[in-house]
Structure formats: structure tokens, C-alpha cells
């Protein structure tokens, strides 16, 4: 299971006490999932999790803290439909978005969180598309 997390501190909007917040992106059962856990001494723990791609503010936190990775196809891609299907499955992308993601993956490489790239590379390899994973810049 691939997982990345960011720990933050903020103030509880209910009771005004300091609280600890964990923002997590992970792969579970072959799917992306993101979670936010807030632990406040006054209000206890609240936990939210959602299947699917993380919203921009969660992705941005992960990228700022951990940087990005790239997944790039190697050689000629004979299974372009597989490439598009994987991007649609992972991100719920439209056909146009999947085509753009595919162009990135066959060009300079699709840039994403380590968790996203881990899942994409695994699914593409399982379906016969050869890829390489490279670290990118740190946020």
C-alpha cells in the first residue's frame, strides 16, 4: 500500500483549542483514497475519508511537503487505449483530460504525488505498458 501524509497544527473551530491534523493520500484495494483526521483534546477525533483523487488543497499539501514524481512511458506505446483507460479509472478523468494526461505520460512524464504515480505505474505495467518512475522537484 502506498501512502503519504502531512501533519499540521491548527485551532479547532468548535472549542478554540489547539488540534493536530493529519492529511493522508493512499492506495487501498487498488484505488486512490484521501483522508483528513483532526484530533482535538476538547472535541475528540474526527475522521473523514473519501475514495478517489484528492482535491487540490490536499494534493498541494502533499506536493509542498514531499515533492512530485513522474511516470513516463518507455518506448513506443502500442496500447494507447490502455493508457487512457488507466487515467480515467484513477482520476475519473474525462476522455479529453485522459488524452492530455496520456500526452504528458508519453512526453516529459505525468507529474503527480508519489501515491498517484505509484498506482499509475503499477496499473500500466499490469496492463502491458512499460513505464519508468522518476523523482521530480520537491515543493
Indicate whether 28 pLDDT > 60. Answer: yes
Q: How confident is the model at residue 42 (pLDDT cuts 50, 70, 90)?
A: confident
Give all strands of the β-sheet with 131-135 in edge-to-edge order. Answer: 110-112, 69-73, 131-135
**15 and 54 together in one domain:** yes
% pLDDT > 90, the chain: 78
- CB 85, CB 47: distance < 8 Å: no
Q: Model confidence over 5-18: pLDDT tens digits? A: 999 998 988 888 89
Same domain for 74 and 59? Answer: no
Position 138 scores a pLDDT of 57
The parent domain of residue 83 ranges over: 69-135
8 A C-beta contact, residue 35 and residue 43: no
CB atoms within 10 A of CB 90: 22
Q: How many domains does the chain have?
A: 2
CATH number of domain containing 100: 3.30.1390.10
Q: Is the pLDDT of residue 47 over 80?
A: yes
Amino acid at each position: 500500500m502506498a501512502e503519504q501524509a502531512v501533519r499540521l497544527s491548527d485551532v479547532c473551530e468548535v472549542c478554540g483549542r489547539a488540534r493536530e491534523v493529519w492529511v493522508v493520500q493512499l492506495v487501498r484495494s487498488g484505488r486512490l483514497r484521501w483522508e483528513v483526521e483532526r484530533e482535538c483534546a476538547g472535541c475528540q477525533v474526527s475522521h473523514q475519508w473519501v475514495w478517489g483523487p484528492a482535491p487540490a488543497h490536499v494534493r498541494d499539501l502533499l506536493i509542498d511537503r514531499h515533492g512530485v514524481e513522474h511516470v513516463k512511458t518507455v518506448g513506443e506505446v502500442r496500447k494507447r487505449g490502455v493508457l487512457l483507460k488507466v487515467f480515467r479509472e484513477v482520476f475519473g478523468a474525462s476522455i479529453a483530460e485522459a488524452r492530455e494526461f496520456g500526452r504528458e505520460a508519453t512526453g516529459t512524464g505525468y507529474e503527480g504525488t508519489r501515491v498517484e504515480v505509484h498506482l499509475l505505474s503499477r496499473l500500466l505495467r499490469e496492463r502491458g505498458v512499460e513505464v519508468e518512475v522518476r523523482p521530480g522537484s520537491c515543493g
